Structure 1
Amino acid sequence: MTGKSSGFFWPSFTDLMTSLFFIMLVLYVLTYLKLTNQQRATEQQLNKIKEIQAAVKELPQDYFQYDSEYKRFSLVQNIEFKSGQDIIKPMYEQYLIDVGVSIKDLISNLKSEYAQQDIKYVVIIEGMASNDNYFDNYPLSYKRAWAVMKLWQRENVMPDQSVCEVQVAGSGTGGIGRFPNNEEFKNQRILIQIVPKIGEIKLE
């Protein structure tokens, strides 16, 4: 009896181990496929994010100059203000309106192109000031940027507020990427930053 029981045990144990081996093999294959699909999806999402980041740079070069080092736009035409003032000169108004129209059109195109994605945008208008010994350059640079926003509001060229927020900032005589002292007058300018706020990326 003992011999028969022992002989019966080993084939059963072998069958059990074989079954466990195939179960582990199937689990390994399923895990590998899942991780591979996740990696592929992550790569596709990353490519989509890069595509969106590149798309926000598609502004007309007639108005915008992209600074790849500091990831921002400056206006091709230097907007000059009278010392200590934030009033936009009439000679610059149409140019700044055209700038606003370009941004509005870009945001509209992005909204249509990525309608299925969870993406919002922030447009930052940043005023800068030259170091001309004016005592209040920081608030002044903010007011100059705000003057641009008020001009856009007046002319109804604000970007679509359902997907885009416009913020105003002033860096005064500080900030990065300023012109050197021998070109200090060029620091009196308006900078534009367009930042995509990317939520969940849906893959087709």
Structure 2
Amino acid sequence: MAKKKKDEGFFWASYADLMTSLFFIMLVLFVLSITIMKKRQEATEQQLKQITDIQDAVKELPEEYFKYDEEHKRFALKRQISFVAMSSEITHGDKPYLINVGESIAALIDKMKKEYAGQDIKYMIIIEGMSSRDSYYKNNELSYERALALYNLWNNNGIRFDNSICELQIAGSGINGVGRSKNEVLNQRFLIQIVPKIGNVREQ
């Protein structure tokens, strides 16, 4: 009988030790899980901040030439560049201004390439030509030709963008597109958009 009680006492002592050990193991795992989750959260927050910084960097285009359109989340030239109806020829007076615009964009792209070196980030520059709602039957082609006219102006003046990180697209939205003016004459223009293409952002 005494031996049975001794065995029972040994069992409960062993059981208590086992439960204590399991408790400490669960406690360690809990603390470890919380630590890992916190580190992941910090990494995610840091990566989110970097993405926001990259997006904000695009807004560093010189205010001399650009204004940011909050409604449509894009840049617009401060100077109204209007084409003559049914024409895609850039006026002589607008050319120096547009050359300066191209140089300022190229400088910003070069700056961001250095600042975010090693990151999986590229940029897309979109020149979107537009045309007015009128009786001209080639407005779609005309809008593209207006965008192409700006590209040719930049190219002919040595303004080129680093194609290792930058893609240039020439597009025409015709009489469609977002953010058109109610004054159709003002739609005889083009828009310039810079869009960051953010891949896998690593911690710095």
TM-score range, shorter chain: over 0.9
Deviation at 1:80, TM superposition (A): 2.4
Distance 1:141 1:20 in 2: 72
Structure 2 match to 1:93: 95
Structure 2 match to 1:197: 197
8 Å CA contact retained: 2:84, 2:188? no
Deviation at 1:104, TM superposition (A): 0.2
User: Structure 1: which 5+ runs fail to align?
Assistant: none
Deviation at 1:83, TM superposition (A): 2.2
Secondary structure, aligned partner of 1:90: coil
Distance 2:114 2:76 in 1: 26
Equivalent pairs counted in the alignment come to 202
Structure 2 match to 1:185: 185
Structure 1 match to 2:146: 144
Is 2:126 aligned against 1:124? Answer: yes
8 Å CA contact retained: 1:74, 1:190? no
Deviation at 1:85, TM superposition (A): 2.1
Which of 157, 160, 180 is matched with 1:158 structurally? 160
Distance 1:47 1:18 in 2: 43
Distance 2:50 2:64 in 1: 27
8 Å CA contact retained: 1:129, 1:172? yes
Which of 70, 73, 80 is matched with 1:71 structurally? 73
Query: What do residues 73-125 of structure 1 show as CA deviations (whole Å, max 9, x unaligned)?
Result: 12222222232222222222211111110100000010011113211100001
Which of 37, 41, 59 is matched with 1:57 structurally? 59
8 Å CA contact retained: 1:125, 1:190? yes
Counterpart amino acid of 1:101?
E
Distance 2:139 2:172 in 1: 9
Structure 1 match to 2:85: 83
Distance 2:184 2:52 in 1: 35
Q: Please report the TM-score for the alignment, with normalisation by the length of structure 1.
A: 0.94
Deviation at 1:24, TM superposition (A): 0.3
Deviation at 1:188, TM superposition (A): 1.5
Q: What does 1:92-111 correspond to in 2, within 5 Å?
A: 92-111=94-113
Counterpart amino acid of 2:202?
K
Q: Please report the TM-score for the alignment, with normalisation by the length of structure 2.
A: 0.94
| Higher mean displacement: 104-113 or 68-77 | 68-77
Counterpart amino acid of 2:188?
Q
Deviation at 1:147, TM superposition (A): 1.3
Distance 1:92 1:62 in 2: 15
Distance 1:112 1:93 in 2: 29
Query: What do residues 44-71 of structure 1 show as CA deviations (whole Å, max 9, x unaligned)?
Result: 1111111110110111122112111111
Secondary structure, aligned partner of 1:86: coil
Deviation at 1:130, TM superposition (A): 1.6
Deviation at 1:140, TM superposition (A): 0.8
Secondary structure, aligned partner of 1:56: helix
Counterpart amino acid of 1:202?
R
Distance 1:146 1:66 in 2: 23
Secondary structure, aligned partner of 1:165: strand
Please, what is the CA RMSD of the aligned residues? 1.2
User: Structure 2: which 5+ runs fail to align?
Assistant: none
